[in-house]
Amino acid sequence: MAKELFITQWFSNEMLLAGAALIKRLDEADAQVAAAFWLLDAEEKTWALTIVSSLIESEGPRKYYKRINDVNDSANPNEEIISLHDIQVVNTNNRIIRAIQHSNLGKALLENNRLGRNIIGDVSIEDMYLYRMDWTLLTPENTAVA
């Protein structure tokens, strides 16, 4: 079994790499990841990896967490994985996604970017690492509930 990554209040290279590996495994499992980012909770000073998918709307979060658990189980034994406790799954109507979509950032290239101490729309972001936003998967015709 892979090693579980210990998440601290400081964003680490290990967190970045473990998140990227999880997203890659989810892509290989056709999990339709529309966006993925680490987000620091300003009050709790804890990080959570947020996975955004329209499948969460159609299948429900419990089934999507099972997907994540299954791809974590398929990780190499020497690979660090992110505990389900440190992952949150949200549908494409997430407030951060909506704020970015409606901001002047538009469809700018936002991949692999750190966005700290920002206010986007009406959302305050203490710290965030954005892996990607797949604008195709975030369009209304692709986010309808199945």
Most confident of 6-15, 62-71, 117-126: 62-71
CB 110 within 8 Å of CB 130: yes
Average pLDDT, the chain: 86
pTM score: 0.86
Burial class (CB in 10 A: 0-12, 13-18, 19+), 34: buried
The residues, any chain, with a CB within 8 Å of residue 24's CB and separated by 6 or more, are none
What is the model's pLDDT at position 70?
95
Closest CA to 6 of 71, 80, 90, 116: 80
Res. 146 pLDDT band, cuts 50 70 90: very low
Q: 86-144: per-residue pLDDT in tens?
A: 999 999 998 988 888 777 665 565 688 888 788 887 888 899 999 998 878 887 655 44
Residue 107: per-residue pLDDT: 59
26-49 residue pLDDT tens:
999 999 999 999 999 988 889 999
Q: Which residues are within 8 A (CB) of 92 and not within 5 positions of it... i.e. 6 or more apart?
A: 34, 35, 52, 53, 54, 57, 137, 138, 143
